[in-house]
Amino acid sequence: MKYTHLGRSGLSISRLCLGTMNFGPLTDEPTAFAIMDRAHETGVNFFDTANVYGRRQTPPGQVADNDQSHAGWTEEIVGRWFAQGDGRRERTVLATKVYGNMSDLPNESRLSALNIKRACEASLRRLQTDYIDIYQMHHIDRDTPWDEIWEAMDVLRHQGKIVYVGSSNFGGWHIAQAQEAAKQRHCLGLVSEQSLYNLFVRDIEREVLPAAAFYGLSLIPWSPLQGGLLGGAARQAREGRRRLQGLAKETLETKRPQVESYEKLCDELGAPPATVALAWLLTRPTVAAPIIGPRTLAQFDSALPAVDLDLDGDTLARLDDIFPGHKPAPEDYAW
C-alpha cells in the first residue's frame, strides 16, 4: 500500500479509504469484520463512516425490512470490531461525520454547537473509542455561523475528542468561508473535503478542486465508480451478470456509448474498469484517497491493484475524450 499526507497535515493515510456505509444494511457483521481485518493486512489504514449510516436502503419493489436498521448501526459495528483489541483502533485513521438527522427532535441534526457536542459524544460511544481522527461536517449548514461551528470544534479538540476537522459536500465558496473564519480564530481549519468525484461526474473541477488546492485540503472522492457504472456495468448487463435498476439503469441507457468506449479502452489496457476508474482518481490534483465501499471481501480485494496501476499521458487523454472534464472557473464557462 502507498501512503500520503492528508492535506497540509502531518497525518499519513493509505491511498485507498475503506468506506463502511454498507456495513449493517447490506453487509453482515462477520463479513464487515473480515473486510476491516483484510484492510489492515493489506495496509489500508484509513476508514470512513458517518453517524447516520445504518439505515437500510430498500430496493424498489421490495418491502422495507427494519430489523436492526437505524442511524448509528454502522458505527456500532466498527466499534465492536475495535473492541476486539489487538491494535485495531491504534492502527486505524478513523473518520466519521456529523450533520444528518439522528431523530425527529429539532436539535438532533445539522451543525449547531449543541448538536456537534452531542453527536460527537454519541459517535464516540458507538465507536467504542475516546477520540476521532477526522471529524467531518457531512454537509454545509447555511444557518449556523462559522464562529459557532469552529468554537464547538475547538472545544472538542481541546478535550482530546477529535484531532482534525474535515468537510463533505461543500462548494468551493464554502471551503473559502470555513478557512477564512478559521484563520481569524488562529486554528488549523479544514484538512480535507469529501466530494462526489469520478470520470462521469467532474463538476468539482470548476470550483472545489481549486479551492482545496489553494487552502491545502486533500480531496477524498466518494462514489468513485458512479454506482457501479464504471465497474464494467455495460458488459455485465449485456452478459446477464448484473441487473441495473433505477438511476443506474437510466444513466447506462443514455450514456451507453461512453461506457462501452470506456470498457473497450480498459480491455486494451488489460485492466478491469473499476481498477482504471480508481487509478484515474489517484492521478488527479489534491486527491488523497478514493473511498471504496465494498459489500464483500472479494470487492475489497479487487480495488487494491488500482494503487499500482500507472496510467500514461495517452491513456489519460483518451479518458478525457470519453469523459470530458472541466477547466477551473471562470474559464470553464466564460471567455
The rounded distance, in Å, linking the Cα atoms of 321 and 294 is: 29
C-alpha cell at 286: 489534491
- Give CA separation, 7 vs 11, 20, 192, 220, in Å: 8, 22, 6, 10
In this structure, the number of other CB atoms found within 10 A of the CB of residue 52 comes to 23
Contact present, 233 and 258 (Cβ < 8 Å): no
The H or E element spanning position 265 is helix 246-269
Q: How far apart are CA 215 and CA 186, in angstroms?
A: 14
Helices (H) and strands (E) in the chain, counts: 11, 10
Q: What are the angstrom distances between the C-alpha of 224 and each of 17, 19, 84, 227, 277? A: 11, 11, 31, 8, 7
Nearest Cα residue to 136 out of 175, 93, 165, 106? 165
Pairwise CA distance, residues 102 & 70, whole Å: 9
Set 53, 164, 197, 262: catalytic member: 53
Residue 165 pairs with which residues in a beta bridge?
135, 190
Active site (annotated) includes residue 53: yes
Which residues are identified as catalytic?
Answer: 53
